[in-house]
Amino acid sequence: MSALLIYKALHIFFMIAWFAGIFYLPRLFVYHAMTEEKSCSAMLKIMERRLLYFVTPFALFTLLFGLLTIYEYGREWFRHSMWLHYKLVLVIILYGYHVYCFKLLNDFKHDRNKKSHRFYRVFNEFPVILLLVIVLLAILKPNL
């Protein structure tokens, strides 16, 4: 069994675990933006914080094993795999999304949220679209 296959498998595993949380967190933000009850808001604050801190290591391991996979393929492969360059741009945007979730979490924590539940419903779809394009690039490997 090669290191490359192990790295790829772990990259995919941690990516799935990360996305499970990154899909659910904005849904919690939707509920939080809709509630006016203090007790419900307090419970959602705890759930949001725990979820984001739980999935953040998965995001880091996804990055680690993705980089190790690229390293195993080699510099020449990386240079000629333009599809991967596009994928990496989308991945950087996705990590920006993840970091922005910390800002939103902090706004809710300090009762400073000004965004509507409609904003969070749209916000919730963003990683779905990114994931679709990333997976298509990774599987189809188009000659760009």
Residues of the binding site for heme: 11, 87
Binding site: which residues?
11, 87
CA atoms of 27 and 43, how far apart (whole Å): 14
Q: What angle do CA 124, 83, 134 make, to 5 degrees?
A: 20
Q: Which residues contact 5 (CB under 8 A, 6 or more apart)?
A: none
DSSP state of 68: H
CA atoms of 140 and 144, how far apart (whole Å): 11
Q: Which residues contact 46 (CB under 8 A, 6 or more apart)?
A: none
Q: Which of 43, 14, 38 is nearest to 28 (CA)?
A: 43
CB 127 within 8 A of CB 66: no
